[in-house]
Amino acid sequence: MNRRDFATLSALALAATKLPSIGQTSPDRKPVGYAAIGLGTISDIFMRACANSSKAKITALVTGHPADKGKKYAGLYGIPPTSIYTYETFDRIRDNQDVEAVYVGLPNSMHLEYTQRAALAGKHVLCEKPMAISSAECRTMIAACHAAKVKLMIAYRIQYEPLWNRAIQMISSGAIGQLQSFQGGFYNHQDAGAWRLSRKLGGGGSVLDLGIYPLNAIRHITREEPANFTAVVSTRDHSGRFAEVEQSIEWTMKFPSGIVASCGCSYGQSGPAFLTVNGDQGYLDMRPGFFYDAPRLSGQVSGQTGGKQIDIAGNGRNPYQFTIEAEHFASCIRNDREPLSPGEEGLKDLLAIESIYRAAGTPIA
Amino acid sequence: MNRRDFATLSALALAATKLPSIGQTSPDRKPVGYAAIGLGTISDIFMRACANSSKAKITALVTGHPADKGKKYAGLYGIPPTSIYTYETFDRIRDNQDVEAVYVGLPNSMHLEYTQRAALAGKHVLCEKPMAISSAECRTMIAACHAAKVKLMIAYRIQYEPLWNRAIQMISSGAIGQLQSFQGGFYNHQDAGAWRLSRKLGGGGSVLDLGIYPLNAIRHITREEPANFTAVVSTRDHSGRFAEVEQSIEWTMKFPSGIVASCGCSYGQSGPAFLTVNGDQGYLDMRPGFFYDAPRLSGQVSGQTGGKQIDIAGNGRNPYQFTIEAEHFASCIRNDREPLSPGEEGLKDLLAIESIYRAAGTPIA
């Protein structure tokens, strides 16, 4: 993404808040048909998001439970029985002309396989974050999509959320002066037995699922890759819930420009989901920052007559962020453009995540 | 401080918010007379704080500018010309029966000398934070006050602030479950030429003056000493302002119990002054947390019917925290008790600060 792309997206995102109809397809362009792979919580949200759009449509389902879950969602979204696939029959999706893209809403460790199989079937891939459980897997996925000439987008959200884009525009326009530091975090609870607590399915601890939010946001805002890391992990809950992944992790990053950051996340804490951006002339605080409903932006920006406090509530209810995502990828497919969060973005986050776990002394790959 | 002391203080602090008269001395006890050493910004606040109290009174001044600053404050607080000292004549304060204690409001590097001289003069010492510029100096100050049989208190504020005490009581009573992590910071601006940017006067960078707030608060809440540190420093402003101390620092700490923390501070950033405390059942956020006016407490605490959002504005305007401090030390002097933030607390913070700078690769002592 270059600066012009960024400015265009920002303008579109801002316009979108005022003109909900901007996403409408011109009459001669049918919506992009998505197959939802995996029918868990996140796919449910994505399917509802597509139902709110005229540019994206759920046209097929891939599930291990075709008779119940499959039937239920097929009924909801008008999908014919012939477009309900199992993981075994998935590769036949190649012949389904109603499907142009897939949405991979599976546990982390399955992203690689289904991205590869979708690419081989000639379908574009919108894959949930984290892209995969190692940078090596990410590279394989990028290569597979490249070889198959299909597009690959990682389902990050802040790149597409209007208030995030407004905050990033403010930063770019110098509202807080020269960037100095970030503090970010995402602390949430996972019950014992959740797949995210399984090293095999999750691929690692909460950095892959939660810490990736401030990490990706900071990388997106700085347009730099972090060069130096420190990290500390801890597990106070000895019930066995955290036998395979850490309960808590806090880390620091330093970027080539000298920008520094400290972040944390956890599957065993209750805490905020936030990002604070400090400049030498002001600061911005997204709090909440990473939930499905709209974020809130506060802080102090510099003005001609001194610092000014701001407090701006975002606008949008779940699944609005997924609708923007689905439409962005649909637009990329229709217009043959690269998505704003391509596979390379997912790869760079995984490289940083691997560095974080290495710095903590608990390498994941 | 044991748990009973803590409970007593908390009760007093809470009562104080409802009954401003609780600090009144019984008629037979005259206020403790303080000499203010150094007449800069912080001493100005302390003197105003004493003017609001019937337990503490400014009875002498120590200044390099007796003819102007000294005369001005003497007029404001009814201090006779014989009780205005210079740094050269300071030791004569020994003979001033109106002075029972001194308030050390000098640059960090001067705390050692004036604490020693005050102790030799038989005066109790209320010394601003940071206690000194090295742990070695702190030990010397503790020994000097011990030898002279005078009390030594470090002028921390959160130990005395009612809403902080309420938050700490909530944490102690399990409102957020088992403590897991802290995120804290204090980012502020120092102009070129400020004494805090001088290594000689400040003793180090912003951790001594700003980072010490979340550090001390976390140590106070956990009642543990941090055992492992990582840190990263950075300076993006190459104007020369940060020739002697770092512009930015972010660090992590791990405590013996497994509690982890990430913190940051800066003399060259605009940013919040905050502490977030995450438990496994809820979290508390003090934001603003460390300013002179009252803090604000928000977060989510666990209840019998699930999490409950809280948002509590503190009550008090500058210099109320200094009044509570001055009265606490006065009460310790009258009742021969140890202050809640004795020299040993200051020493422990300096030990941690030295560890932080060592971890950053920029040792200060």
Does the CA dihedral B96-B101-B105-B106 come out positive or negative? positive
B contact test, residue of A191, A228, A234 with most B CBs within 10 A:
A234
Secondary structure of A108-143 in the HEC alphabet?
Answer: HHHHHHHHHHHHHCCCEEEECCCCCCCHHHHHHHHH
Of A176, A180, A236, the CB nearest to B248: A180
Beta-carbon separation of B230 and A235 below 8 A = no
Q: In degrees rounded to 5, what are phi and psi of residue B161?
A: -85, 130
Q: How far is B278 from chain A (nearest CA, A)?
A: 5
Q: Cβ(A201)–Cβ(A217) under 8 Å?
A: no
- Average pLDDT in the B14-35 region? 61
Q: In degrees rounded to 5, what are phi and psi of residue A165?
A: -65, -35
Q: What pLDDT is attached to residue A5?
A: 52
Of B181, B187, B257, the CB nearest to A269: B181
Of B230, B268, B279, the CB nearest to A252: B230
Q: What pLDDT is attached to residue B306?
A: 74
Of A237, A271, A281, the CB nearest to B283: A271
pLDDT over 60 (residue B285)? yes
Beta-carbon separation of A181 and B280 below 8 A = no
pLDDT over 50 (residue A125)? yes
Q: What pLDDT is attached to residue B169?
A: 98
Per-residue DSSP letters for A19-55? -GGGGPPPTTSPPEEEEEES-SHHHHHHHHHHHT-SS
Q: What percent of chain B has pLDDT over 90?
A: 90
pLDDT over 60 (residue B21)? no
For residues B21 and A359, the model is more confident at A359
Which chain B positions have a beta carbon within 8 Å of A251's beta carbon?
252, 262
Residue A307 banded pLDDT, cuts 50, 70, 90:
confident
**H/E element, B344:** helix B343-360
Q: What percent of chain B has pLDDT over 70?
A: 92
pLDDT over 60 (residue A53)? yes
Q: What pLDDT is attached to residue B18?
A: 41
Q: What pLDDT is attached to residue A10?
A: 52
Q: Which of A187, A226, A182 is nearest to A209 (CA)?
A: A187
Q: What share of chain B is helix, strand, coil (3-state, %, to 5)?
A: 40, 25, 35
Per-residue DSSP letters for A244-279? SS-SEEEEEEE-TTS-EEEEEEESB----EEEEEEE
Q: What pLDDT is attached to residue A320?
A: 98
Q: What pLDDT is attached to residue B10?
A: 52
Q: What pLDDT is attached to residue B15?
A: 46
Which chain B positions have a beta carbon within 8 Å of A235's beta carbon?
258
Beta-carbon separation of A283 and B276 below 8 A = no
Beta-carbon separation of B180 and A269 below 8 A = yes
pTM for the whole thing?
Answer: 0.92
Q: Cβ(A155)–Cβ(A127) under 8 Å?
A: yes
The catalytically annotated residue of A85, A160, A187, A213 is A213
Q: What pLDDT is attached to residue A29?
A: 79
Q: Cβ(A150)–Cβ(A144) under 8 Å?
A: no
- Average pLDDT in the A180-190 region? 97
According to DSSP, the residues that pair with B263 across neighbouring strands are B184, B251
Q: What pLDDT is attached to residue A16?
A: 45
Please give the Cα distance from A243 to B30 (Å, whole number): 62
Which chain B positions have a beta carbon within 8 Å of A177's beta carbon?
270
Q: Cβ(A187)–Cβ(B283) under 8 Å?
A: yes
For residues B304 and B5, the model is more confident at B304
Lowest mean pLDDT among A10-14, A261-265, A344-348, B156-160: A10-14
Q: How far is B172 from chain A (nearest CA, A)?
A: 16
Beta-carbon separation of A230 and B232 below 8 A = yes
Beta-carbon separation of A230 and B228 below 8 A = no
Count CA atoms closer than 13 A to B220's CA, side-chain side: 24
Q: Which two tokens stand for residue B266?
A: 């800066």
Say which residue the tokens 């972090």 belong to: A226
Residue type, B140: T
- Average pLDDT in the A72-85 region? 98
Q: Is A213 a catalytic residue?
A: yes
Residue type, B324: I
pLDDT over 60 (residue B2)? no
The catalytically annotated residue of B57, B129, B151, B348 is B129
* Helix spans in chain A (H): 3-18, 41-51, 71-77, 111-120, 135-148, 162-172, 199-202, 206, 212-222, 320-335, 343-359
Q: Is B103 a catalytic residue?
A: no
- CB-based burial label for B354 (10 Å; 0-12, 13-18, 19+): buried
Q: What's the mean pLDDT when you consider all of chain B?
A: 93
For residues B34 and B19, the model is more confident at B34
- Average pLDDT in the B247-269 region? 98
Domains and CATH numbers, chain B: 18-157+321-339 (3.40.50.720), 162-318+348-360 (3.30.360.10)
- Average pLDDT in the B337-353 region? 98
Q: In degrees rounded to 5, what are phi and psi of residue B20?
A: -60, -20
Q: What's the mean pLDDT when you consider all of chain A?
A: 93
Closest-approach residue (CA) in chain B for A190: B280
Please give the Cα distance from A270 to B97 (Å, whole number): 55
Please give the Cα distance from A319 to A105 (Å, whole number): 15
Please give the Cα distance from B100 to B93 (Å, whole number): 10
Which chain A positions have a beta carbon within 8 Å of B257's beta carbon?
236
Which chain A positions have a beta carbon within 8 Å of B262's beta carbon?
183, 250-252, 262-264
Q: Which of A51, A54, A91, A96 is nearest to A75 (CA)?
A: A51
Of B183, B260, B283, the CB nearest to A183: B183
Distances (CA, A) of A198 to A115, A186, A357: 21, 19, 16
Q: Taking CB atoms and an 8 Å cut-off, how many pairs form between chains A and B?
A: 172
pLDDT in tens, B49-69: 999 999 999 999 999 999 999
Beta-carbon separation of A266 and B230 below 8 A = no
Beta-carbon separation of A278 and B269 below 8 A = yes
Q: Which value does ipTM take for this structure?
A: 0.91
